[in-house]
Amino acid sequence: MKEIEFLSILDKFGHDRLRVRFKIDKGELIDVVYQYEAFLSERWIPIVRYDCAHGFFHRDVLMPNGDKEKQEIAIDNLKSASKYAEQDLKDRWEWYKERFIKKTKKR
């Protein structure tokens, strides 16, 4: 089994990044993790994660208090699910970050 992990910077200041991990077995994609992280309060904080944990592909939107909003993403194959996760995070990372910051201020 082969595991590939890399970071992709999303903003021009390097304060927002996408952490990606793939597991490939015999040429087949068997696991993916896409995690959007922001550098806030002098540390990297995970804000949104797509993965296959718990036996199904889903999105976890992480809250400042540690809670998670879990939503199953019904896509028929892992390759398509991977593309969906990547595109969603590249398109909407700013929105996810603003939402997280607003929830931080309400605490």
Using the predicted structure, report yes or no on whether residue 61 has a pLDDT greater than 90: yes
7 closest CA partner among 42, 37, 29, 31? 37
49 closest CA partner among 88, 4, 8, 94? 88
Burial 21-55 (b: 16+ CB within 10 A, else e): ebbeeeeeeebbbbbbbbebeeeeeebbbbbbeee
What are the φ/ψ torsions at residue 66 (nearest 5 degrees)? 100, -10
**Overall domain count for the chain:** 1
Give residue 105's pLDDT: 84
Give residue 107's pLDDT: 62
Please give the residue range of the domain that contains residue 24: 2-106
Interval 34-57: pLDDT, tens? 999 999 999 999 999 999 988 899
Q: How confident is the model at residue 9 (pLDDT cuts 50, 70, 90)?
A: very high
Over the chain, what is the mean pLDDT? 95
pLDDT above 70 covers a percentage of the chain that reads: 99
